[in-house]
Amino acid sequence: MQFAPFFPFIYRILQPSFPDCLWCGDRNSKAIALTFDDGPHPQYTRQVLQVLDRYNITASFFWLGACVNRSPEVAKAVCDRGHWIGLHGYDHRSFPLLTPNELKESLAKTQAAIYDSCNLLPEQVRDVRPPNGLFTPKTLNLFRQWNYRPVMWSVVPEDWVSPGITTVVQRVNQQVQNGSLIVLHDGVCGGQDVAATIEVLIPQLLQQGYQFVTVDNLWRYNQTN
């Protein structure tokens, strides 16, 4: 069973309950964020970069530390292009199942991997998206204590189950609106279609008048309103 049709309803329940998380940007602005989880991948992420380069679009990537260590040259290529970098844990273990020490170590190890490949200091990489979007109030309290910023989503086309390019594009178009925060995947699950998906999706969204910004841009709006 695919859950994509239910994510908009889940979003409407969770978003007002956890206002300290970044769920979206300005609903009065056509600025949206395109984000990618589970990378970097030696093949799929490079393909994504080619499409983003072609359209001169800056996106946001939430990385697994283990993948950064496996593909440091790909990580550097993403960073060198000015894309925004965030954390997704070291190895995609669910955050609520980790002890506080394990969670802290997972994030710190990922920051260290990013520093080694991209020379970004830990304080420059503070945005965190929990794997599978799973968190608890305790998780958020720990983020706050450790000065991390929790980033969620508003458009989830469930591309990681590989429903097909046409289906993913259709789901995004059905859900997208001003300020949307779109989640796609450039890792092992879903990454095989991601470049072809955004090759179709980006021109459609541009034609609708949307402007692509990074997660940091969405935070700036939320912090001033």
Instruction: Tell me phi and psi for residue 63, to 5 degrees.
Output: -105, 150
The predicted structure's pLDDT at residue 10: 72
Q: How far apart are CA 180 and CA 198, in angstroms?
A: 15
pLDDT digits (tens, 9 = 90+) for 29-70: 999 999 999 999 999 999 999 999 999 999 999 999 999 999
Q: Which residues pair with 151 in a beta bridge?
A: 22
Listed as ranges, residues in the chain with pLDDT below 70 are: 1-7, 9, 11, 223-225
Q: Record the pTM.
A: 0.95
The predicted structure's pLDDT at residue 13: 75
The predicted structure's pLDDT at residue 6: 67
Residues noted as catalytic: 37, 185
For the chain, which residues make up each domain, given as ranges? Answer: 31-223
The rounded radius of gyration (Å) of the Cα atoms in the chain is 16
Neighbour tally for 80: CB within 10 Å: 10
The predicted structure's pLDDT at residue 15: 78
CATH T-level topology, domain 31-223: TIM Barrel (3.20.20)
Q: How far apart are CA 172 and CA 176, in angstroms?
A: 6
